[in-house]
Amino acid sequence: MTSVLIVDDQPMQRFGFRMLLESQDDLHIAGEAGNGTEAVRRTAELRPDVVLMDIRMPGMDGIEATRRIIAEHQTAEHPGPRVLIITTFDMDEYAYAGLRAGASGFLVKDALPEELLAGIRAVAAGDAIVAPSLTRRLLDAYVQHLPAPPGTPPAEDPRLTGLTDREREILTVIGQGWTNTEIGQRLHLAESTVKTHVSRILAKTGARDRVQAVILAYETELVKP
């Protein structure tokens, strides 16, 4: 059973999410929150598996709430609650910041019900649910949030030093938006081998999930806009 905390400042939106989740035998609604401050407090009280987080809310917004939840509950030994950002527009200017704050996924509010349910289950299992194409568009659109490249070639990022040449290659194409299937086909690898490489990349770099791996590829300039 996956427990879910619903965070949104609109009561009708919370009601809609609740009705959908209550129809599923494997999902349990831990509670609701109407703003970021309440979300942080309720997460500490209820320890949900997944937090459905709106971005634009009065007071503390969803980005700061996500940052605090991740900081307070996520460790190397225990992943803590996973945050799934739910926002109005698929190119919301705050979505990139939300992913940087530690969210494991990003969906728009007009997503199909089955997409939302699949997203909740995916992040609860430790996966990222942002489609590679959407991740790429999001990062391309908001790449100005990344530090400007220095005038001299950057030093090797310590997060990359433990990667093999193959793992570095795979991290690069993950950043370019390739799926595991595409990586296997184009690099002539079994998909199970690709999954093993991806798992090792996440472990070695400290990336929480595939979304964070894409961000890492941009930050370290393995992928350039």
What is the pLDDT tens value at each position of the chain, 225 positions in all? 999 999 999 999 999 999 999 999 999 999 999 999 999 999 999 999 999 999 889 999 999 999 999 999 876 567 789 999 988 765 556 667 777 788 888 887 777 898 899 889 988 877 766 655 555 566 565 555 555 555 545 567 888 999 999 999 999 998 887 878 889 999 999 989 998 999 999 999 988 777 778 888 888 888 876
Contacts of residue 110, defined as CB under 8 A and 6 or more positions apart, other chains included, come to none
pLDDT value at residue 73: 85
Per residue in 172-200, pLDDT tens? 998 887 878 889 999 999 989 998 999 99
pLDDT of residue 94: 67
Burial of 152 (0-12, 13-18, 19+ CB in 10 A): exposed
Name the pairing type of β-strands 105-108 and 82-87: parallel
Q: What are phi and psi of 47, to 5 degrees?
A: 50, 55
Identify the DSSP state of 21.
H
Distance CA 172, CA 178 (A): 9
Query: pTM score, two decimals?
Result: 0.69
Q: How confident is the model at residue 77, as a pLDDT?
A: 63
Strand segments, DSSP code E, in 104-155 are 105-108
Q: What pLDDT, on the 0 to 100 scale, is given for residue 136?
A: 57
| The pLDDT value given to residue 35 | 96
Q: Which helix (H) or strand (E) holds 86?
A: strand 82-87
Cα–Cα separations (whole angstroms), residue 150 to 214, 217, 219 = 21, 17, 12
